[in-house]
Amino acid sequence: MSDNKKALNDVKSYVEKIAERNNWILNPDKETLQNLIEGLMVNINRYGYYNCPCRDSQEDRNLDKDIICPCRYSEPDIREFGHCYCALYFDEDYDFSKSVEMIPERRE
């Protein structure tokens, strides 16, 4: 792996720091969390930025700036629904006794 490529642990550390800084928690489902982190790793290594793993990239940082993780929509999604679009980040008070459902896409 070349020096500029991100490894899984780099990406995991990145999302952990984002969650901590925002008082969010990461998806507690280990398999889902792993898949989302792997998707972010693919995107950072492919595009050079953390494009949301649940949205298609335009392969242009300026066109994708609203969906660089954590995306522009994550805060309002977490406030309204308790988690972001991908269900990577959750409000620390989220009630995990209920199922995690898809939320509406805010991006036009």
We report the CATH number of the domain holding residue 59 as: 3.90.460.10
Residue 20 lies in a domain: yes
- Inside any domain, residue 69: yes
Per DSSP, 89 falls in state E
Q: Does residue 1 form part of some domain?
A: no
Element (H, E) at 27: none
Predicted TM-score of the model (pTM): 0.93
pLDDT value at residue 3: 58
What is the tens place of the pLDDT at every residue in 40-66?
999 999 999 999 999 999 999 999 999
pLDDT digits (tens, 9 = 90+) for 85-98: 999 999 999 999 99
Residue 107 lies in a domain: no
Q: What is the mean pLDDT of the chain?
A: 95
Domain-embedded: residue 34? yes
Number of domains in the chain: 1
**Residue-wise pLDDT tens digits, 71-82:** 999 999 999 999
The three-point CA angle 54-60-108 to 5° equals 55
Whether 33 maps to a domain, the answer reads yes
Give the dihedral of Cα atoms 92, 93, 99, 101; nearest 10 deg: -70
21 in any annotated domain: yes
Q: Does residue 59 sit within a domain?
A: yes
Domain that includes residue 73, residue range:
8-91
